[in-house]
Structure 1
Amino acid sequence: MCRNIHQLHNFEPEATEDEVHAAALQFVRKVSGSTKPSKANAEVFDRAVLEIAHATRHLLEDLVTTAPPKDRDIEAAKARERSAKRFATA
């Protein structure tokens, strides 16, 4: 899957509309193979993004878990640490 789509479930605070929209946009870009649609496809592209964002929001609202919510700052720090190790120059 696309590396730019990040987990949105079980975070405190919950995912914002911007995060949900960004994930939907990345998904549509990946599926369509286009980062910017032509004028002929712009309407269908934008509609797909809105529909996927809507479905994603419903998914996030309906998922249940017994795990405690993750802290965004801690998870971001972990991701930076993994990235530093992965791309470290020797």
Structure 2
Amino acid sequence: MYVRHLPRDSALAIDDNGGLMPWSMVEHLLADRWEQEANRGKKKDTPVIRNPRRLEVQSKQMAQRGSRKRAAFERAKARRERYLRTTK
């Protein structure tokens, strides 16, 4: 089952986010605003300064997604092997 748009303070959302409450829309907008201010007045050829907290959160989420996908693949593989063993 796939659940989307959980309340930020729900136990499932907090557990899925590594024990921390997920960012709200306001926090995402503040991070965007922080990046705008950090990069104001810079020349176009200089590297963009990113919000360090946002990068940390995104990397953790990507790692969790990858491990969930691998686990789902392994479960599907085991189910397929069990099915093939019983049909012979």
Asked if these proteins are the same fold (TM beyond 0.5), I'd say no
The answer to which structure has the higher helix fraction is 2
Q: TM-score range by the shorter chain?
A: 0.3 to 0.5
Bigger Rg, structure 1 or 2: 2
Higher relative contact order (CA 8 A, sep 6+): 1
The answer to which structure has the higher strand fraction is 1
Using the size of structure 2 for normalisation, the TM-score is: 0.32
Using the size of structure 1 for normalisation, the TM-score is: 0.32
